[in-house]
């Protein structure tokens, strides 16, 4: 069953992908800063989004993932492209 992602999921994907030095501080920073302000370029955002897309089954387009400016934008994008859930399963 696919569920919506949240800030912790973005944090985990960023830490796994980039090996952030101070991972605990990154979570608070994600909520209030853009990826650019945190030093992440569009390639790092794309890598993070692709991890989240793979893990959730989302079909968010690559270009939109790479263009996400904030963690919340990425969350909203991934969640808005999740597979539909029905009583019979995922569609």
Instruction: Select the more confidently predicted residue: 82 or 89.
Output: 82
3-state secondary structure of 34: strand
CA distances from 28 to 35, 63, 74, 90 (A): 13, 26, 16, 33
Ordered structural domains, the chain, with CATH: 7-90 (1.10.1200.10)
Res. 15: pLDDT tops 50? yes
What is the per-residue burial (b if ≥16 Cβ within 10 Å, else e) of 72-85?
Answer: ebbbebbbebbeee
Residue 81: per-residue pLDDT: 97
Phi, psi of 89 (to 5 degrees): 130, -160
- Summarised one tens digit per residue, pLDDT across range 53-87 is 999 999 999 999 999 999 999 999 999 999 976 44
Q: How many CB atoms lie within 10 A of CB 56?
A: 19
pTM, two decimals, is 0.85
3-state secondary structure of 47: helix
Q: Which tokens go with 69?
A: 């400016």
Question: What is the C-alpha to C-alpha distance for residues 89 and 77, in angstroms, rounded to an integer?
Answer: 22
Residue 34: per-residue pLDDT: 95
């Amino acid at each position: 069953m696919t569920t919506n992602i949240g800030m912790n999921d973005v944090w985990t994907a960023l830490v796994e992908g980039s090996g952030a030095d101070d991972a605990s501080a990154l979570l608070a920073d994600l909520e209030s800063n853009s990826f650019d302000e945190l030093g992440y370029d569009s390639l790092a955002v794309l890598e993070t989004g692709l991890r989240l897309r793979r893990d959730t089954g989302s079909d968010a387009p690559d270009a939109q993932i790479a263009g996400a400016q904030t963690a919340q934008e990425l969350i909203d994008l991934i969640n808005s492209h999740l597979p539909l859930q029905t009583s019979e399963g995922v569609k």
